[in-house]
Amino acid sequence: MTDVSARRVLVLNGPNLGRLGSREPDVYGATTFADLVADCEKTGAELGLDVEVRQTDDEAELVHWLHEAADGKIPVVLNPAAFTHYSYALRDACSQRTAPLIEIHLTNPATREEFRHTSVVAGVATGTIAGFGADSYRLALRAITSLTA
């Protein structure tokens, strides 16, 4: 890969993920958001990626970040959280992608409440990784590496 910008990856996180570690630890585990950021940065460095992790509870901000990624041809690892199930604005922003976009989830939505079974993002993502806890992020970064090699 010769384009330096292609090595940059945005890891974008939607609502409530900033509360990891204290939010429903029986569902989401004890890993804090700070732990997750450090792990993504470490994994990225091992893979030769410049990983930037962001989190927002604001749908509009997440949409703007996806526009930034599309305009810059930057691969994305996206945990849309609750926006997964209903945000057509997010889906439309994802559909404008110009580089791989991997949708991820800490838990497996298919094993949870019925309203979580539908992802409006999945149809425009390169792929989806779910149910592996923090490993979902590591797996997605490995996938990005393979897809952008």
Tokens linked to 112:
């949870």
* Dist. CA 40–CA 10, nearest whole Å: 10
Per the annotation, where are the binding residues for substrate?
A: 79, 85, 92, 106-107, 116
Structure tokens given for 10? 């945005």
Q: Which of 28, 64, 86, 117 is catalytic?
A: 28
Catalytic residue among 64, 88, 105, 137: 105
DSSP 30-99: S--HHHHHHHHHHHHHHHT-EEEEEE-S-HHHHHHHHHHHHHHT--EEEE-GGGGGT-HHHHHHHTT-SS
Annotated binding site: 79, 85, 92, 106-107, 116
Instruction: Check if 28 is active-site.
Output: yes
Residues serving a catalytic function are: 28, 105
